[in-house]
Structure 1
């Protein structure tokens, strides 16, 4: 990548991080304006809003992706899935733009957009595959299904009452997905 293109990409990411962290106008137009680039330049680097948001939250995405092997090596598959989904929910609850981007992962996506989601979808698929192999998840469950089911939980809210409600709803979701009953409590060494 040319140095000016790399510079523009970094400016876009910095501007996006600032814009997404503040309340108010979080449109791509406002991000381009803050970065001092045209919308065409922004779209050349990030063809979709989701690809930009996932790049801004790249550290969180990397942590989620790299957590899978450790979870699967230390917890039974349904507990590993639960622990990972709780992390994903936490990121989405703290950062609504991330939750919105993840909710978009379940639609009809372009190749470029699907590529932005690939690491998270692959991580989730590995957890689902481990549960399928162990016979601990409802057959046919896909990563897309999981993200679609999580969408409403991100919108419950972040205050104490909403967090308690979200926790109850998450328990219902896990009981339905992993009816074997061993997904309720994650304790070290399980």
Structure 2
């Protein structure tokens, strides 16, 4: 009879961790000041001790959110290619990338410190993201619906530029419009 209890505890712990990550991702994406760990725990519906059991420091929480988002982006490329044509998959992946950029808003100071101290491997993340974009571009080239002369680095630089400009206060341009224009430019000439 004592056997099911540890499984239930592990299931509860996994649910709590996922809930904390979900809330932290949403809260950290919000503009404004960095949110306290206590506020994240409260919004996730868990006690502060539960939060610290999973994430002993703010840095460990930020790293977990960051890594979770990178995994979602890299897996997202594969999943989107499985369900849509490459050009459509690329456009949907651009939206995922925008969500990832937005997530970094409320954790930017912590994240930059972690990158500088090499706690978060910026080069590794960059390679993972470029590989995700390359997989979509390669599929698009093979299908003939994406230009063969565009690199993953060029797409990534374009995305960073778009999200930097589109999220500035007072700019009338929207990220969606700019992403649609970028995708049109990535299609071969004469492609519908």
Answer with 1 or 2: which has the greater Rg.
2
Q: Distance in 2 between matches of 1:131 and 1:57?
A: 28
Cα distance, 1:172 vs structure 2: 0.9
Task: Find the counterpart in structure 2 of residue 174 from structure 1.
Answer: 183
Task: Find the counterpart in structure 2 of residue 114 from structure 1.
Answer: 123
Residue 23 in 1 paired to residue 59 in 2?
Answer: no
Cα distance, 1:69 vs structure 2: 2.2
Question: Which TM-score applies when normalising by structure 2?
Answer: 0.54
Cα distance, 1:82 vs structure 2: 0.9
Q: Distance in 2 between matches of 1:121 and 1:128?
A: 10
Cα distance, 1:129 vs structure 2: 0.5
- Note closer, same or farther for the CA distance 1:116–1:165 as it changes in structure 2 (3 Å cut): closer
Render the CA deviation track for 1:31-71: whole Å, top value 9, x for unaligned.
xxxx6xxxxxx9xxxxxxxxxx7765111111111122221
- Note closer, same or farther for the CA distance 1:95–1:136 as it changes in structure 2 (3 Å cut): same
Q: Distance in 2 between matches of 1:127 and 1:148?
A: 16
Please list, as runs of the form range in 1=range in 2, the aligned pairs for 1:7-86 lying within 5 A after superposition: 21=28, 23=33, 56-86=65-95
Q: Distance in 2 between matches of 1:98 and 1:145?
A: 26
Render the CA deviation track for 1:118-139: whole Å, top value 9, x for unaligned.
2211111101110111122222
Task: Find the counterpart in structure 2 of residue 139 from structure 1.
Answer: 148
Q: Distance in 1 between matches of 2:81 and 2:172?
A: 26
Quote the RMSD (CA, aligned, Å): 3.8
Task: Find the counterpart in structure 1 of residue 167 from structure 2.
Answer: 157
Cα distance, 1:115 vs structure 2: 2.4
Q: Distance in 1 between matches of 2:154 and 2:147?
A: 11
- Note closer, same or farther for the CA distance 1:164–1:54 as it changes in structure 2 (3 Å cut): farther
SS in 2 for 1:140: coil
Q: Distance in 2 between matches of 1:129 and 1:78?
A: 11
SS in 2 for 1:57: helix
Q: Distance in 1 between matches of 2:179 and 2:168?
A: 14
2:139 to 130, 133, 137: 130
Tell whether the 8 Å contact from 1:60 to 1:91 is kept in structure 2 after alignment: yes
Tell whether the 8 Å contact from 1:65 to 1:120 is kept in structure 2 after alignment: yes
| Number of aligned residue pairs | 133
Question: Which TM-score applies when normalising by structure 1?
Answer: 0.54
